[in-house]
Amino acid sequence: MKDSTTLMAMPQAPRDFGFWRDGKWVRGREKAERRSPAHGLPVTLTEKCTLEDLDDTVAVARRAFEDRRWSGLSGAARGTVLLRTADLLRRRRDEIAYWEVLENGKAITQARGEIDHCIACFETAAGAARLLHGDSFNSLGDALFGMVLREPVGVVGLITPWNFPFLILCERVPFILASGCTLVVKPSEVTSATTLILGEILTEAGLPDGVYNVVTGPGRTIGQALTAHPDVDMLSFTGSTAVGRSCVHAAADSNFKKLGLELGGKNPIIVFADSDLEDAADGAAFGVSFNSGQCCVSSSRLIVERSVAAEFEKLLADKMKKIVVGDPLDPATQIGAITTNAQFDTIFGFIERGQAEGATVVTGGKVLDFGRGQYIEPTLFSGVTRNMAIARDEIFGPVLSSFHFDTVDEAIEIANDTVYGLAASLWTKNIDKALTVTRRVRAGRFWVNTIMAGGPEMPLGGFKQSGWGRETGLYGVEEYTQVKSVHIEIGKRSHWVS
C-alpha cells in the first residue's frame, strides 16, 4: 500500500455541500461529516435535512410535474438534455470519480470505469426517450378505435445505497427522466457527494428547475418519510431485503404508491468441469472481490463440479492472493477499503462465524492493517454446508463459500436453494448445459462464461426476495409509466334510451 500523498492529493478541508432543490443549493441548519474510510480524514460535509425540508422538496417536484415543464416536452427534447448530461459527465469524469473514492473507499480505476457506464446510461436513456410509445387497437370494429397510452407515473422518490452511489443513481435517473417524471433523491448519508454534484450537471445541461431534487440525511428519518410520503407516486429503493420489506409496508400504509425494489442477493457462480478453469477462476475472483465484495450481484456462492473442485479451488485461491488491496487513490489498487465501520464488523463477523461452524479458510480471512482505513483480505471458504450462515446470508463483502456437485440437476438445485434471485454466473463449454441451467436457475441477470458484463441496453432486476420491477433500457423507462386505455367511438352512437 502506497502513501496517498504520493498519489492524488486529499482535500485540504472537507467540501461543504448544501442539498439540491429547485435547481439551486439550499443550506440547512445541521451538518454531517463524512470521513474517508480509506484514510480516516474528513472529506465532505452534508446537510441533515429535516422533515420540513423533505415536504418542501416534494412540493417542488410536484409543481414541476403538474405544470408539465418536463413531461410536456417531446421525447426528442428530453433526449437532448440527457445527451448534454452525458457530455458534461465525460468532461467531469475524474472529478466525480475522485469524490466517489473519498466517500466510498473504492479503487479510483473502478470509479472511473463506473462513470463511463453512467455516461452510457444517459446516452441509452436519450434514445429510449424517443422510442417510448403506446399501442393502438384497430380490431374493435368499425365503430370503435382503441389506444394504449404510456404516461409518466408522476413524482418518483429514489433511495440509493452507499456501495455504488453514482452508478446505481445513473442506472435509474436518466430512465426516470426519459419517462417524463420528476424526482426527489435520497442518497446514503455516507456517500451523498456525487448525487448532489449531478444536480449541478443536470441544470447546466438544461433540465428545468424542480425536476431533479436531492435531500440528504439519515435513512431512518428522511428515507422512511420519503417512502411513506403521500405525494410521492412511486418509490425506487435499492438496498437490503429487510428494508425493502419495510418499504412495502410504508407504501401500503400511505398511498399505495408503485414500488421498484432492487434488494439482496446470494448469487451462485456455477463451474462445470468442461469449462476453461483459468477463465472461470479469474471470473470468480473478480465476482466476489469487485468493490470489496460490497455488491448486490457479487458471486458469493461457488458451486463447482466435484471432479475438478480441488484443482479449481487452488487456482482460485492463487488468483485471490494476487489481488492488490490498498489505498483506493493508487491506480494500481484493485480493491479498496470497506465503506463503513458497521459493514467491516459485519463481514469479519461472518468470517469468524464460518470458521466456528466448521468451514475451512482456503485463503484470506484476515484484516489488513495499513495503519489507517479498514481492509479485509478476499476470502475463500471450503467445506461449507448449506445450513451455515455464510452459505445462506448476504455477507456483502469479499467472502466466497464453495460447494461441490456431481450432476446438472444438483447444481441447479443448490443454485436455487436461496430466498434470493438477483444474479447468477455459469461456466461451461457445453451449449446444452448452458441453456438448460440458464433456463432453470431463478435469477434476474445471468452470465454465461463471463460475470458482471453488459450495458444499460438490457434490463436489470431480481426474482424472489431480490426485488420487484426492472431498471435500465426501454424496460427501465416503461417501469416509471402508467398505462392508460383510451376508447374512441366513431360515428353516431347507438342509443341506450330510445
**Grid coordinates standing for 256?**
399505495
Sign of CA dihedral 242, 244, 248, 250: positive
206 phi-psi bin (left φ>0, alpha ψ -120 to 50, beta other): left
Helix 431-440 to helix 408-416 angle (10° resolution) is 30
131 membership: H or E segment, kind and range: helix 108-131
C-alpha 429/C-alpha 451 separation (Å) is 15
402 membership: H or E segment, kind and range: strand 399-405
- Cβ atoms within 10 Å of 374's Cβ, excluding its own: 24
C-alpha 60/C-alpha 53 separation (Å) is 11
- The amino acid sitting at 73 is L
C-alpha 396/C-alpha 346 separation (Å) is 8
C-alpha 319/C-alpha 283 separation (Å) is 10
Residues 6+ apart with CB under 8 A from 285: 316, 319, 320, 323, 378
26 phi-psi bin (left φ>0, alpha ψ -120 to 50, beta other): beta
**Nearest CA-CA partner of 154 in 222, 225, 211, 206:** 211
**Grid coordinates standing for 449?**
462464461
Three-class DSSP category at 381: strand
Alpha-carbon distance values, 175 to 80, 121, 159, 479 (Å): 13, 8, 15, 9
Beta carbons of 486 and 148 less than 8 angstroms apart = yes
Q: Where in the sequence numbering do the catalytic residues fall?
A: 262, 296
244 membership: H or E segment, kind and range: helix 241-254
C-alpha 370/C-alpha 1 separation (Å) is 7
